[in-house]
Structure 1
Amino acid sequence: MAKPLPEFLRVPWTVPQSLGIFVTAWFALPVGLVVLIVALAQVFSPVHTLLVLIQGSSLQVSFIFDLITAVTALGLVWLALRHYQVGWAEVGWRKFDFWKTALYLVGGFVGFTLVAALLIALVSYLVPSFNANQAQSNDFTGAVKTHVSLTLIALVLIPPIIEETVFRGFIFPAIAKKWGVWGGAIASSVLFGLAHWQANVSIYTFVLGLVLCFLYVKLKSIFPGMLIHMLNNLLAFYALASK
């Protein structure tokens, strides 16, 4: 007999609504903005200047795009919460027990590191062309030494807050209502991996997503997940800065 879904995961919104936020914020919005800018650049010279900056991978423009994505994602979640007349606690913004959380954070981080390493090794064995050591590449990874504050905010602070709220707080419970906790954890973690585009990074973030879903179920708060997510990104930031 299947174990009943925990009460705090019985959210009022639906799977299509949760997937709508994912598709809108991570795919439709960025593509739509680029298409709009390209079209307007043919008519307005200031927009053409912006397009040149985008094509030149301007760090400031990339940061603005990330902020737009973050605000859009949180805004859509807020609209859903308002529609169902519930608060932010419904997406896991709840208090948590510090000492209990500390134990889970240590165990979760160790487990994540081991499982991710094993899965990467397995994929490397099954797919010889898979590059497990491919460096994650975006406009910020190459600027950690020259724009420390901006890249720290863009890589370490913003993503954990937005991604934990959307993927663990909003998408995971919606799918869990249909497919159970494991189904919700796997499906939401697949989406979490896809949001990072790059193959080896997607596998890594898929495992991280599973661990963060586990933490959410055990601790009933996404704040511990944000902490471990920030720690993971901070270690990556430090590794990039040390090169």
Structure 2
Amino acid sequence: MNEPTIDPEKFFKTACYFESALILVALLLGWIADINPFEFIIFDEQAVMNGIIGTLPLCLIFIALNQLQLDSLDKIRQVLHTTLGPSLHKHHWTDLFILAAIAGVSEEILFRGVIQPWIENSWGMVVGILASSVIFGLVHAVTALYFVMATAVSIYLGLYLDYDGTRNLLTPIIIHGLYDFFAFVVILHSYRLALQKGK
């Protein structure tokens, strides 16, 4: 089995610190653009329900893609397996939930709370969603296909920002966090099965 490229012992703290730091980046960019990153985080039951329901299609697509035997998808699975598997294996599912929640909050505050509306202010909603999603995809581009997939997910999250005609950042935060948690659990399960087969 390949050696992990991330130190499993340091992964959780490093990932939490890195993701949390994105909030500081959002605050800095928001200050420059005169945008309050937290303005559209509105707590209500409908936003929570929209977030939960909005997560389901992404999870189903993740499962479907996980079953496809394509070289490009196998490469992504291998990268996730070797980089995240050993690190996730060291932690309880509650740790994975905390990390996913931090990622959901921080990345959405940055990309949907600042970058998307910043671009929208000059170029309109469509360009705002597309441009911020391309940036999101580039940040997550471990492979060319993964860039395309991350960009598509970001467009989906950008559309959910204004779901029901009401801008609420809480909905994409919930979708992002729950989806990341689901992905972490699937990757961890796959890694542990591989370990059992390797014994």
Q: When the two structures are superposed, what TM-score results if normalisation uses the length of structure 2? A: 0.70
| Cα 1:145–1:100 shift into 2, 3 Å | closer
Residues 1:186 and 2:134 aligned together = no
Q: Where do residues 15-94 of structure 1 align in structure 2 (5 Å cutoff)?
A: 57-81=6-30, 87-90=36-39, 92-94=40-42
Contact 2:51-2:174 at 8 Å conserved across structures: no
Kindly name which structure, 1 or 2, has the bigger radius of gyration based on alpha carbons: 1
Give the Cα separation in 2 of the matches to 1:86 and 1:171.
9
Three-state SS of the structure 2 residue aligned to 1:69 is helix
Contact 1:143-1:151 at 8 Å conserved across structures: no
| Cα 1:89–1:157 shift into 2, 3 Å | closer
Contact 1:77-1:166 at 8 Å conserved across structures: yes
How much has 1:149 moved relative to structure 2? 5.2
| Cα 1:85–1:132 shift into 2, 3 Å | closer
Unaligned runs of 5+ in 1: 1-54
- Which residue number in structure 2 is paired with residue 225 of structure 1? 172
Give the Cα separation in 1 of the matches to 2:138 and 2:186.
23
| Cα 1:150–1:137 shift into 2, 3 Å | farther
User: What is the RMSD computed on CA atoms of the aligned residues?
Assistant: 3.6
Three-state SS of the structure 2 residue aligned to 1:231 is helix
Contact 1:186-1:210 at 8 Å conserved across structures: yes
- Which residue number in structure 1 is paired with residue 159 of structure 2? 214
How much has 1:84 moved relative to structure 2? 7.1
Q: When the two structures are superposed, what TM-score results if normalisation uses the length of structure 1? A: 0.59
| 1:210-234 deviation line (CA, Å, top 9, x unaligned) | 1111111224121111111122112
Greater RCO, CA 8 A, separation 6+ = 2
